[in-house]
Amino acid sequence: MSSKNKNYNTLQQPVWYVIYTAPRSEKKVYQRLIGENIETYFPTYNTIRQWSDRKKEVSVPLFNSYLFVKISLSDMMKVLKISGVIRFVYYLGAPAVVREIEIERIKLFLKKTEGYSISIEKGDLVQVSSGIMKGVEGVILRITKNKAIIQIEQLGLCVVATVPRGQLKKPTILSKQ
């Protein structure tokens, strides 16, 4: 097979890409993408929101303004034409590709952390001591009653995670030998 044919097949092979949406429009964009028969992953988690007169459990995005789409490169324009889609996320000058295993890890992370809560302080450097993200370190950016927003350098994104206190610890400092 010539290299030209290999490149053509690569262009036609669907892979996961990250799209950036207009603020607070992830759910609408997700519905529009599904309506166009585009395979889409919209990671969400449930949390309790307090209003002045009531509490309600709501589903909120794990990554604000980001969705994942599984398409071939030739379908990029179709996605960009969807109302609310701003752009594709790029890495090193090319659309950022997310491996299938990473999508599965996000799904597993959400499943394993469902219903957990934490109580830590803003600015703390923490390490996940067990679970799918064991060993990952991050800085607590914001804490609410039931969740912590943790910036994880390895991912380059802010991940909103509801994690049990027992899974977080101060990172161990490696001693020089």
The domain that holds 150 is classified in CATH as 2.30.30.30
pLDDT band at 177 (very low <50, low <70, confident <90, very high): very low
- Please check the confidence at residue 79 and state whether its pLDDT lies above 80: yes
Specify whether 11 is located in the same domain as 73. Answer: yes
More confident position, 170 or 151 = 151
**CA–CA distance, 147 with 67 (Å, rounded to integer):** 21
Structure confidence at residue 39 (pLDDT): 96
- Is 21 or 135 the better-scoring residue by pLDDT? 21
Q: Where are the alpha helices (DSSP H) in the chain?
A: 3-12, 26-35, 76-80, 100-113
If you ran DSSP here, which 8-state letter would residue 77 be given?
Answer: H
Q: What is the pTM of this model?
A: 0.61
Residue 156 domain-assigned? yes
Write down which residue in 36, 71, 98 finishes a domain: 98
pLDDT tens by residue, 37-67: 999 999 988 777 767 787 777 888 888 899 9
* Mean pLDDT value across the chain: 77
Which is more confident, 135 or 94?
94
| CATH number for the domain that contains residue 68 | 3.30.70.940
Q: What is the mean pLDDT of residues 157-168?
A: 55
Q: Can you tell me the mean pLDDT for 129-150?
A: 66
Residue 105 in any domain: the answer is no
Size (the chain), residues: 177
Number of structural domains found in the chain = 2
* CA-based nearest residue to 141, from 119, 124, 165: 124
Q: Is the pLDDT of residue 117 over 70?
A: no
Determine, yes or no, domain membership for 163: yes
**Who has greater pLDDT, 163 or 36?**
36
Residue 12 predicted with pLDDT over 70: yes
Domain assignment present for 108:
no
Q: Whose structure tokens read 């679970």? A: 131
Q: Quick one: average pLDDT of 148-153?
A: 67
Domain span at residue 60 reads 1-98
Of the residues 51, 67, 98, which one is the last residue of a structural domain?
98
Instruction: Let me know if 88 is exposed, middle or buried by CB neighbors in 10 A (0-12, 13-18, 19+).
Output: middle
Q: Express as a percent the part of the chain with pLDDT over 90.
A: 37
β strands within the chain, DSSP E = 15-21, 39-41, 44-50, 55-61, 66-71, 85-88, 90-91, 94-95, 97-98, 125-128, 137-143, 148-152, 157-161, 168-169
Higher model confidence: residue 120 or residue 62? 62
